[in-house]
Structures are given as structure tokens and as C-alpha cells.
Amino acid sequence: MPSVAQLLQPVEADLEILLGNLRSLIGAGHPILHAAAEHLFTAGGKRLRPGIVLMIARAIDPAGTVSDRHRRLAEITEMIHTASLVHDDVVDGASTRRGVDTVHSRFNSRVAVLAGDFLFAQASWHLANLDNLEVVKLLSRVIMDLAEGEIRQGLNRFDTGQGFQAYLEKSYWKTASLVANSARAAGVLSSLPLQRLDGLARFGKQLGLAFQVVDDILDFTGSDKQLGKPAASDLASGYLTAPVLYAMEENPALAGLIERELSECGDLEQALQIVRSGDAIPRSRSLAERFAGEAAEALHWLSPSAERDALLGLPEVVLSRLH
């Protein structure tokens, strides 16, 4: 099974250009914000989201090239993603991400919030300068969705009344919206017909949902090192994910533990045991597999190319994180 880095090889040179461009786009006007952004952009990470935009751009272009506007769209996509991570880390109190210190632990929370705002503002400015109203609407929607997802997650902690629909909506807002809308925007910049734009958006949405469900499974099955955060931290924070929702269906006692916010001695361990012992994890795995399959199906109209092969390989790579 190839890695994400191997699948992104067709656009490896493009991603190097992207990193250089990001550094120049953020400018040196605010030294501490520049330092914070520079820290983020050099912190590693797979650059999956801009990589998808660049691969789609090459896959749908008859000559297999990437226009300057597609490059800028990829840069905007990475800016929005990075800004959301900075704010997420402040809200979650995370001390590291991708193995490096988070912005607020390296600087402080005030700088982190400002750096996230700065990146969102920069992304919005460069987005407006693409001079394509449909693309502006698509990516502005992403920024709204990210905020909506974070707010919902924060306000609905330990709320056992949430159904599966609420979970999928929040997962779309927080994870899938950026992939879906930036994928569609790549098609808009290439003037693709509506049906193909829908296919690109569906690919991004289902891939993003598969990615989120896999992440939620790993919260129960992964090691601290694999996750980059303590295992079961989502449940401990009161975030009800697919495995928890399935486990509550099987064992209503879990709802009682969550409603008292896992506050008594042994509650978290008991809740983990309930989630891990039944069918919740296998059912969640089946859900991720369904989303991944639907993502791959959405792109079968693409002409044969290395980029098409890489895009169709991404859903399998997302699932392979479970093995």
C-alpha cells in the first residue's frame, strides 16, 4: 500500500513551489505572525489538501499542466486548513501537532488566535483576487463551515441527544467541506460542466468523511504516538463520534456515563471498555469503507493519468491507517 507522500509524487514539484509561494504570500509585515506562520508551513504535514487540488488540476487539463490560478487555489486551501488547525489547537489545548510545538505553546494563545485570524484574512484576500465569484463563494463557505463545526463541537460536548445526522454534519463542516469545495473550485477554474463539478465535490466530501471516521476509530484503537495526542482524548473531551454513537445503541449504560461527563472514578475506563468490546468499531470501519468506496466511484470519468491513479488511490490509503 503506497503512502500519502508516494501518492502525491505526481505533484511533488508543485508542492515545493507551493511552500515557497506561501512564505512570500504571508509577507514579513508582522514579524511574530510571520514567525508563527513560517513555523506552521515548515512543520511538515502531508499537504494532502493542496495536493488534491493540484492533482485534480493536472488530471482535468488535456495537457496535464497547472495554471497559476490553480496554484493560487491550492495555496489558499492550505492557508485555510492551517488557520483552522491553529484555532483548533487553542480550543483543544493541544501542545503538539505533527510532532512539533503548536503555535500557542511556542508563542502564546493570543499570538495563536491572531495568527489564525491573519491566515484566514490572507486567504480571503487572495481568494477575492482570483476574480471568480463562484470560487469565492465555495471557499468562503468553507470558512463558515469550519467555524460552524468548531462551534457545534464545543457546544454539544457530552450531549447524548445528538443523533448520527448531527455527527455527520459536524464531520462534514470540520473535515470534508474544505476538500469538497476546493476540489469543486478546481473544476470551476477549468470550466468543467456541472455534472463533473458535482463528481469532484462528491469525491472530496466522501473522502473527507472517510478520513474523519477513520480518525474517530483511531481515537479508540491507536497509540498515543500514532495519534500525536493521548488515546481516547475525544471521548474524554465529550466529543461523541461514530464508535461512541454505535456503542450507545448497543449499550445504553454508556449514555449514563457520558451524561455525568465521565466525572466519577473509573468512568472513562468503563466507557472505553464498552466502545471497544462490542460491534461499534467494526460498524464504524464499515461506514468508513462505504465513504471511501463512494469517493473512488465519483472520479471514474477522469481520463487515464498518473494523477487520476493517485486520486483513486487516496481512499484506500485513508482506510489503510486502520491496519
Q: Does the pLDDT value for residue 19 go beyond 90? A: no
Other beta carbons within 10 Å of 125: 12
For the segment 29-50, what is each residue's pLDDT rounded down to a tens digit? Answer: 677 777 777 666 666 567 899 9
| DSSP E strand boundaries for 174-323 | none
For the segment 183-237, what is each residue's pLDDT rounded down to a tens digit? Answer: 999 999 999 999 999 999 999 999 999 999 999 999 999 765 555 556 678 899 9
Band (pLDDT 50/70/90 cuts) for residue 69 is very high
Task: Give φ, ψ of 114 to 5 degrees.
Answer: -65, -40
Task: Give φ, ψ of 27 to 5 degrees.
Answer: 65, 175
Query: What is the CA 165 to chain-centroid distance, rounded?
Result: 19
> What mean pLDDT is predicted for residues 171-188?
98
Give CA–CA dist 270/253, Å, rounded.
10
> Residue 278: left (phi > 0), alpha (psi -120 to 50), or beta?
beta
Q: Does the pLDDT value for residue 301 go beyond 60? A: yes
Give CA–CA dist 307/301, Å, rounded.
13
Q: Is 131 exposed, middle or buried (0-12, 13-18, 19+ CB in 10 A)?
A: exposed
Give the per-residue pLDDT at 269. Answer: 92
Give CA–CA dist 56/250, Å, rounded.
41
Question: How far, in Å, are 87, 120, 153, 197 from residue 113 at the CA level?
Answer: 6, 11, 18, 34
Give the per-residue pLDDT at 51. Answer: 95
Give the per-residue pLDDT at 23. Answer: 79
Question: How far, in Å, are 61, 275, 280 from residue 260 at the CA level?
Answer: 55, 17, 21
> What mean pLDDT is predicted for residues 294-302?
96
Give the per-residue pLDDT at 323. Answer: 82
Give the per-residue pLDDT at 98. Answer: 62
Instruction: Kindly report whether the global pTM for this prediction surpasses the value 0.85.
Output: yes
Which of 174-178, 231-235, 288-292 has the least mean pLDDT?
231-235
Name the superfamily (CATH) of residues 4-322: Farnesyl Diphosphate Synthase (1.10.600.10)
> Residue 242: left (phi > 0), alpha (psi -120 to 50), or beta?
alpha
Q: Does the pLDDT value for residue 67 go beyond 60? A: yes
Closest CA to 52 of 191, 149, 184, 198: 184
Give CA–CA dist 4/176, Å, rounded.
17
Q: Does the pLDDT value for residue 92 go beyond 70? A: yes
Give CA–CA dist 161/183, Å, rounded.
33
- CB half-sphere exposure, 25, CA atoms < 13 A: 27
Residue type, 110: R
Give CA–CA dist 151/157, Å, rounded.
10
Mean predicted lDDT score pLDDT of the chain = 90
Cβ contact 78:49 at 8 Å: yes
Give CA–CA dist 168/23, Å, rounded.
35
Band (pLDDT 50/70/90 cuts) for residue 85 is confident
Give CA–CA dist 4/27, Å, rounded.
30
Cβ contact 32:108 at 8 Å: no
